Structure 1
Amino acid sequence: MNLVDFIISLGIFIFTLSLVIKKPKGIQIGYSASIGAIITVLAGFTTFVDFLNVVSIVWNATLTFVSVVIIALVFDEAGVFEYLATKILNYSGGSGKRLFILVILVGSFISAFFANDGTALVLTPVIVALLYRIGLDKKAIFAYIMAVGFIADSASIPFLVSNLVNIIAATYFGIDFFPYMEVMIVPDLVSIIASLLFLLIYFRKSIPVKIPIKVEFKNEDIKDPVIFKLFFPVIISLVVLYSVGGIYNIPVSIVAMPAAVFMLLLARKNRKIDYVKPVKEAPWQIILFSLGMYIVVYALATNGMVFYMAKAVGYFQSFPFGMNFVMTGFLFALTASIMNNLPSVLLGDLTLQHLHISGIILLTNAIGNDIGPKFTPIGSLATLVWLYMLDRKAKIKINTIEYMKLGLIVGIPVLFITLMTLYVESIIVL
């Protein structure tokens, strides 16, 4: 390992990440990552073979992610998520605590099937508008929106499509949709329950005892009845097709992309909703971001970062009573919170491959990079999207200290319990 090359590649990574976070002169994240990638190439740290390796790692995950978000945005245009939000408000029976629980459960559902960014993009503005509409104070609104932001990531564990990092963490080692789901459903349920309990405790003084409940959802609020009725059939069909595709080694993007195109064509045919808007609002920058940032991280990894990570992870493997799972997962969570979970999950893959580790413990990379981003505001793109949506649509700014306080107090125990659940599963499977 060349120490000078490691320091230079680390400097390029830090520079690139600072561009992504600070967005000088409004530069979008995809272009920021591309600048870092170009510098990496010019510095001689990336070869054409490295570029092809990166493309082979990210293409399936990135295209799946964009497709799933487009599907979610089409359903949002049709009025599906506003309907769900209104229903949970009325089902709350006027109880602030029950509404809090229902918001978390709906957020978990959306994250599972439409990815964590789907929750950030479609549920956040709907919930905020609904809470303002019923006249809750800022303290109460803060509790509900922070719960949505937290659960978007902590409930994005169950399926490959629930989080971009799941696809990268699993498919890198040949783990397909159904085998992944079979293992991760239980940790996801545990994560949701733990998140719910700790969030209730954390916000116990902010959640109102009683809330107004009668908010009507009129038939005219359903903008496209055909698409509205397809919500659950589409979800069921996608899960079945993802599972069948896994049996035949069909990438999940080959299922998700045609589904997104179908939804857009149906919206265009019906002409009830703006079918162009979901395309415009889709996170296209994620394609450039994934490719660019991964080129930067790949150079950092091959110039020494994997060496240091492997020393730590290798040391953890001797720990007893599931602490090998916990420490490995927390290391990946730490890197995610510092450098964002997309570059972190690639580092995790390369580290685990370097050590020739196999078995269920590989999925600590997914869990660590799903929940770890809650420790800091830069941990995941879903969080960045969520913060952007709050600022743009509700004029709500989240203080970094407040965010990290919640993330650490709630996130650490949730991550620990979820990783221990994965460890227990590994014993049962063996």
Structure 2
Amino acid sequence: MQTNLADFLRDTPDGEEADAILRKCVHCGFCTATCPTYQLLGDELDGPRGRIYLIKQMAEGAPVSRLTQAHLDRCLTCRNCESTCPSGVQYGRLVDIGRRYVDRQVQRSLGERAMRYVLANVVPNRKLFGALFEVGRRVRLALPAALRHKIPPRHNVGAWPTRTHARKMLMLAGCVQPAMMPSVNTATARVLDALGIETVVASEAGCCGAIRLHLGQEADGLDDVRRNIDAWWPHVESGAEAIVMNASGCGATVKEYGHLLRNDPAYASKAQRISALTRDLAEILPDFTDQLIALARRADAPRVAFHSPCTLQHGQQIRGKVEALLRGLGVDVALPADSHLCCGSAGTYSILQPALSKQLRDQKLACLHATQAEEIVSANIGCLCHLQSGTSTPVRHWVELIAQRL
């Protein structure tokens, strides 16, 4: 695709990146076949190829409208299109650039601006979000159904291991996970402890930056990135062998730190090192399969359906590892039809695009229920909560299933 960048983008880092990505696109349309919003809406401009054209027009100086903004807003950034693109178009990076520049030219309504401000300043703030979430949990039964279903009831999370080990791995606790599903972090620490690895959580680390970055607030999102690097760096220097991610959305973002700060002379090399150390739990535990099999109880395991988050299979290109590990531990794992499609959670998407998000969730749940599984397991906090809001079938992180069997 030939481009002729407008003056406001020419010779800028965003412009150079957008130009390189746009030039890879050959208009083949393979991406439309796997785009969830295109399949729902049937509109070329609600698929990757159409959105790429919109971004190209914007980059070349054409006027943009509220309609342009709406088509980009409806993108899930699931990156399914990247998995099917034969030309290697990095659409996720392109759409983030496009959204930022369209938002600079198109004024949002007061209501939209207020909602985005709240999402960008409350959700990434672990203490504030935790306090508000606890209030919501206390009055959960009095809330409207749409809100009540987003607040999982409290359950026993188990004890955090107290043993120390020579081997240490950092873990990002996350911004919403400690309040919404603290059992995931505890289960991760317990499993690693059983394998002789100590889990270290840097208290100063917080949101991975994804929320603000995907809302177009680049400066604040990059501040989140730098804060995490500063929090982790002393542990990296003292020998932490990996940074464990048990939320695939966070993992996909942290693996991008090197790219995000490539032009920051103070942080570029550190960011590259952090990205290189970052590994999803699905990349770590399979190396210990034999040890986990030896530790696992031989009790009957439930039949589970595994929903692979987009940030795991498309963002990080990790496929098959969770299923193989669980099956090795004697768990009957089923994959739903259309397992490559998004469940509709997509970070803040379920709040900003509730109608489309609910349609995608219900489609995904229909496929998951068709497997006749007793439980649903996944690998990202957003997917877990979103799916649970639409079903009575238990939904939990796959590492919790392993922790239970140790």
TM-score (norm 1): 0.24
Per residue, is there more helix in 1 or in 2?
1
Per residue, is there more strand in 1 or in 2?
2
Larger RCO, structure (CA 8 Å, separation 6 or more): 1
TM-score (norm 2): 0.25
